[in-house]
Amino acid sequence: MARSDSIYQEDTIPTPLRHIWLNFISYPVAMLGLWVFIGFLIITLIAPFIAPYPPGLQHPDALLFPPSWHEDGQVSYFLGTDDLGRDILSNLLHGVRTTFGSSLIVTIFAAFIGIFLGILSGMSRGLKSSILNHILDATLAIPSLLLAIVLVAISGQTMINVMIAVGIALVPQFVRATHTAVHHELSREYVVAAKLDGANKFQIFYNVILPNVLNALIVQFTLAISIAIIDIATLGFLRIGAPASTSEWGTMLADGVDLIFIAPWNVTFPGMAIFASVLAVNFIGYGLQRAVKEGLG
């Protein structure tokens, strides 16, 4: 570029985001989380092609088969079957779609809305900002699961409604995180400098503040994914989430609870799936947080 005559020619300074990335990949735990996450993402896309059976297909002659490594198990039902003869492995693979995939979609939508509102409230001052804040405080005080339950109660129990409810419950957290980050940056001196240069509000936001709050938003995003997975699964577990026929991890676990004494694998595997996905996301979030802190500090 224009710096070709500089003596630091060969030394390219990484951008802040690239800096974070370079820091991030140096943590094995965070990378493990990322790989598991990518694995789940791939399964989300190709679940119908790799699952041995379609979701909810019942095998009347294969009820409550234990996992295949058990002496009564069969390889064709790798993780065993439930009381209706549904293959647990196929249900889990399809569940990646309903639980993990939909929580991703939900988080993306919630992030767009929440960050937009957060920017609006963060950039404004005085009465407008304080009114928005009171509304936020009130919504944040309602436990997110309770909010989701109420919304599902209002709109009826379908997967789309569950996703919308969990998304709406996530929005305040995004607004809060964005608001705090933006508000914090607004009082910095370089923002004042940009203002003195005659930058308008949009320029200040886009060119000055956004690059500095982006990392906080990314961390919040990973946090929100883990909350969304847990919320969707919890709603499913309480049987107010995904409708009974869907292969959703929480719903599967709830079905398994009745059989816990004779077929514990009905509880163990869905739980492990939820646990693994949430843990992977939290590992990524932890790695990012650390990368942000050490990269800039």
Residues that bind other proteins (CB under 8 A): 29, 130, 133-135, 137-147, 149-150, 152-154, 226, 230, 233-234, 237-240, 250, 253, 257, 260-261, 264, 267-268, 271, 274-275, 278-279, 282-283, 286
3-state secondary structure of 81: strand
Q: Which is nearer to other proteins, 180 or 203 (CB)?
A: 180
Q: Could you tell me the smallest distance in angstroms from the CB atom of residue 79 to other proteins?
A: 16
Nearer to other proteins, 101 or 285 (CB): 285
Q: Alpha-carbon distance 156 to 159, whole Å?
A: 9
Minimum Å gap between C-beta 235 and other proteins is: 10
Say which DSSP state 43 is in.
H
Q: State how far the Cα of 154 lies from the Cα of 152, in Å rounded to an integer.
A: 5
- Rounded least distance, CB 209 to other proteins, Å: 18
Q: What angle do CA 89, 92, 93 make, to 5 degrees?
A: 85
Compute the C-alpha angle 229/266/76, nearest 5°: 110
Give the integer Cα–Cα distance in Å for 230 and 220: 15
Comparing CA positions, the residue from 3, 4, 89, 103 lying closest to residue 47 is: 89
188 contact partners, CB below 8 Å, separation of at least 6: none
Least separation, in Å, of the C-beta of 57 and other proteins? 25
Is residue 217 within 8 A of residue 272, CB to CB? The reply is no
| Residues with Cβ within 8 Å of residue 143, at least 6 apart in sequence | none
Name which of 113 and 279 has its Cβ closer to other proteins: 279
Q: Considering beta carbons, is residue 81 or 226 the nearer one to other proteins?
A: 226
Which CB sits closer to other proteins, 53 or 178? 178
User: Nearer Cβ to other proteins, position 19 or 290?
Assistant: 290
Nearest partner of 208 among 136, 150, 122, 109, judged by Cα: 122
In terms of CB distance, is 74 or 282 closer to other proteins?
Answer: 282
Q: Shortest Cβ distance from residue 277 to other proteins (Å)?
A: 9
Provide the minimum distance between the beta carbon of 256 and other proteins in the complex, in angstroms, as a whole number.
Answer: 8
Least Å distance, CB 114 to other proteins, is: 17
